[in-house]
Structure 1
Amino acid sequence: MNNPTLQVSDLTKTYNHGKPNEVRVLQGASLSVAPGEVVALVAPSGAGKSTLLHIAGLLDTPDSGAVRIAGQDMSHLPDRRRTAVRRATVGFIYQFHHLLPEFTALENIVLPQLANGASQKAAEARALALLDRVGIAERASHRPAALSGGEQQRVAFCRALANEPTLLLADEPTGNLDPDTSDRVFGALMALVRDTGLAAVIATHNLELAARMDRQLRLTGGVLAPL
């Protein structure tokens, strides 16, 4: 694979080292994701998929192994630099939307852009364009409590892409939705990803959704293998 956006190599991670309840979560996990590629990460609860995503997204550090984003080794960067890289290049989506309840849909997408140095006008224009892409531009002025679950998650998708990341990491992004809503919302997510050409790793229990992605991997025994 040429010039992967994300490359993780031989990651290990153990919690409670040396204790009776020691848990070896990752035991040599490796993964490369190319620009424009969407990879499904399939794993049961407790298998370590969230740990893998957090390490890949620079929210956590491995015991050993390497993480490279756009070819740059992130393993030994100081915390401030890791935070800057994460803010500029990585978008996260979780099962629960985590929108700020006191702000509108538009404002939830504008705020991370302002924190990254964008002007108010540019941030609002991008937020509206993203909301339009996922079909809810008319809901821009509504607060999360006035949105349906599917609409809330679409706003969360837009927020994750607000700063134009090159890497998207999603942890069960439709896991909190009913099957019909999940299917529609996942379609909106895939359209966003395809439009932007970013690399994406999407964790899901849903094998039908996984089959719609470019490649499927299973995390088991702390390593990754084709599904």
Structure 2
Amino acid sequence: MNDVTLRLSGLKKTYLKGTPAEVQVLRGADLELRAGEAVALVAPSGAGKSTLLHIAGLLDTPDSGTVEIGGQDATGKGDRTRTAMRRRDVGFVYQFHHLLPEFTALENVVLPQLANGVSDRAAKARAMDLLGRVGVADRADHRPAALSGGEQQRVAFCRALANEPRVLLADEPTGNLDPGTSDQVFAALMDLVRESGLSALIATHNLDLAARMDRMLRLDGGVLRPAE
């Protein structure tokens, strides 16, 4: 049985092509991510981590190479197909939570499910289950402004996992938190990943957190290599 949830093959991406300031960010990046695996992505700022994650999550397209999610090749697919794949199969978490400020924590986790055709009752039940797993169920009726930074990011994790994606992509998910809160929030994220059995590719500057994942990759010169 093929348990590869995300396969990136030969990804190349250049910005400002044909100009003196041309920057080749990806030069043939390859990756296989398997079900239940958490992989750390480490690299200095500007090395292309965000570009790689955006291409992997079908938010951007490579100049060449392929992206397969759950065995389905997204290469050359139209916007509607890519949007459907992204909504169904990919969850995103960013350094800043990007929660909708006018909605409660519960509503922020419910809304993506409603957009995916889930009933209101089922969406609320799943949202409360997820919020409970990360210890913020008692804050479900609070809007983001009334939550701490750590609580906001935990809600963002729940939102990313609301539609039971195959793959979680996270870009510095604890980078905006103090060290103590960062450790707690990361532990909550890893618990969600392990319990859900999905794959996770997590970009981080924090090597201590990276070492707690299954393996570590470094984006070096536009290609992915095992990190020492």
Range of TM-score over shorter length: over 0.9
Distance 1:52 1:92 in 2: 13
Check whether the contact 1:109–1:127 (CA below 8 A) recurs between aligned residues. Answer: yes
1:178 maps to 2:178: yes
The equivalent residue for 2:169 is 169
The equivalent residue for 1:17 is 17
The equivalent residue for 2:95 is 95
Check whether the contact 1:89–1:165 (CA below 8 A) recurs between aligned residues. Answer: yes
- Report the TM-score when normalising by structure 1: 0.99
The aligned amino acid for 1:96 is F
SS at match of 1:86: helix
Unaligned 5+ runs, structure 2: none
Displacement after TM superposition at 1:220 (Å): 1.3
The aligned amino acid for 1:62 is P
Distance 2:3 2:185 in 1: 30
Distance 1:98 1:196 in 2: 23
The aligned amino acid for 2:182 is S
- Report the TM-score when normalising by structure 2: 0.98
The equivalent residue for 2:205 is 205
1:141-178 superposed Cα distances (whole Å, 9 cap, x missing partner): 00001100000000000000001101000000000000
The equivalent residue for 1:86 is 86
Distance 2:74 2:32 in 1: 15
The equivalent residue for 1:33 is 33
Check whether the contact 1:3–1:71 (CA below 8 A) recurs between aligned residues. Answer: no
Distance 1:182 1:31 in 2: 27
SS at match of 1:5: strand
Displacement after TM superposition at 1:3 (Å): 3.2
**How do 1:58-77 residues align onto structure 2 when only pairs under 5 Å count?**
58-77=58-77
Q: How many residues get paired?
A: 227
SS at match of 2:4: coil
1:56 maps to 2:56: yes
Instruction: Calculate the aligned-residue CA RMSD, in Å.
Output: 0.9
**How do 1:144-155 residues align onto structure 2 when only pairs under 5 Å count?**
144-155=144-155
SS at match of 1:39: strand
Distance 1:184 1:150 in 2: 8
1:54-82 superposed Cα distances (whole Å, 9 cap, x missing partner): 00000000000011111111111111000
Check whether the contact 1:95–1:176 (CA below 8 A) recurs between aligned residues. Answer: yes
Displacement after TM superposition at 1:194 (Å): 0.1
Distance 2:71 2:125 in 1: 31
1:59-109 superposed Cα distances (whole Å, 9 cap, x missing partner): 000000011111111111111000001000100000000001111000000
1:18-43 superposed Cα distances (whole Å, 9 cap, x missing partner): 10000100001000000000000001
Q: How much identity, in percent, do the aligned residues show?
A: 75
1:112 maps to 2:112: yes
The aligned amino acid for 1:43 is A
Displacement after TM superposition at 1:191 (Å): 0.0
